[in-house]
Amino acid sequence: MRRLPAMLSSLLMIAALVACASPGGAAAGDAAKASSPKVRTNPDLITKAEIEAGGFRDAYDIVQRLRPTWFTKAKSSGAQSMGGIQVSGGYSGVQSGSTGAGLLVYLDNTRMGGTAALRDIPATSITALQYMDAATATARLPGIGSTVISGAIVATSRTGQ
């Protein structure tokens, strides 16, 4: 009976020593995290902190500098041309050059127009920008209906939070 408590305390001491001595221990992990400046960002969202850190002119400037792939995602959706009509390889392609709306811009769930509308939205008035692929935008945003789009950029203003 007397051996059991002594044996348990010895095992606990050994476990504690092994944990402290391992290179992946808590102290080593915390030091590595503190020295690593990597911050994971959502590729489909630009946050208020990112916007405030940049000194941007307008929403177009924000997207161009922080997530330029949003502009190219819509263009590189796998669409192929067949007799003047583009046929999409997936959900997010523009299917017709004349009837497709391309990449739409929304401000607080109000349709503003194409990407040029981003230049009319001052950076100081925005709290977030979000990219939506065509399927998500069609399902969530008002006013799209049966219009074929390649995606949408949704700006949330400070007043529309």
pLDDT tens for residues 26-73?
444 444 444 445 566 799 999 999 999 989 999 999 999 999 999 988
What's the domain range around 29? 3-35
The phi, psi pair for 155, rounded to 5°, reads -100, 135
Q: Which of 40, 58, 52, 22 is nearest to 127 (CA)?
A: 52
Task: Compute how many other C-beta atoms are within 10 angstroms of the C-beta atom of residue 131.
Answer: 23
pLDDT of residue 90: 39
- The CA-to-CA distance between both ends of the chain, in Å, stands at 66
Count of domains for the chain: 2
Q: Is residue 115 part of a domain?
A: yes
Q: What is the pLDDT of residues 136-154, one digit of tens each?
A: 999 999 999 888 999 999 9
- Based on the domain organization, do 30 and 50 belong to the same domain? no
The verdict on 90 and 109 lying in the same domain is yes
Please tell me the pTM assigned to this model.
0.63
Beta strands 110-113; 45-46: pairing state: unpaired
Bridge-based pairing state of the strands 45-46 and 126-133:
antiparallel
Calculate the CA dihedral of residues 91, 98, 146, 155 and round it to 10 degrees: 70
- Indicate if 91 and 127 belong to the same structural domain: yes
Does residue 40 sit within a domain?
Answer: no
